[in-house]
Amino acid sequence: MENCLFCKIIKGEIPSTKMYEDENMYIFKDIDPKAPKHYLCVPKSHFKLLSEMNDTQAEMLKACFKKIPELASILGLENGYRLVINQGDDAGQTVFHLHIHILAGKKMDWNPA
């Protein structure tokens, strides 16, 4: 997708701090961390919403969810972590390429308000 920030990051056109990459996903540090450890796991196929996901993209997302726990020691997730997928305006989605926030490194409150 042209003009998609995360497509450009995946292609290396915009720099990022890469933590992991394979054929399905690209994982990098969030530029504005909301926890001591804050990464973004981005499926390599562009789509905005779960409701728009095709079967191939669903397989990619599944691969992401299988891979993240396997990366626990690399990402420092041993004490637990939170995964967040913002969808649409009310959730505050700002980048319209579906991504999983990986948050870790402190005890987190449960306060989505």
Which positions are catalytic?
Answer: 99
| Contact code string over 58-77 relative to ligand 5GP, x by CB under 6 A | --------------------
State which of positions 19-38 bind ligand 5GP (CB under 6 A): 28-32
Does residue 49 bind Zn ion (CB under 5 A)? Answer: no
Q: Which residue type occupies 81?
A: Y
d(CA 112, CA 20) in angstroms, rounded, equals: 28
Closest to ligand 5GP by CB, 55 or 89: 89
Q: At 61, which helix (H) or strand (E)?
A: helix 55-70
Residue number with CB closer to ligand 5GP (55 or 92): 92
Cβ partners under 8 Å of residue 80, min gap 6:
104
Cβ distance to Zn ion smaller for residue 39 or 57: 57
Q: 58 to 97, contacts with Zn ion by CB under 5 A?
A: 97
48 binds Zn ion (CB under 5 A): no
Count of residues that interact with ligand 5GP, criterion CB under 6 A = 13
- 26: which residues sit within 8 A by CB, 6+ positions away? 9, 10, 18, 20, 41, 42, 44
Backbone angles phi, psi at 57, to 5 degrees: -65, -35
Could you list the residues that contact ligand 5GP (CB under 6 A)? Answer: 5, 16, 28-32, 40, 86, 92-95
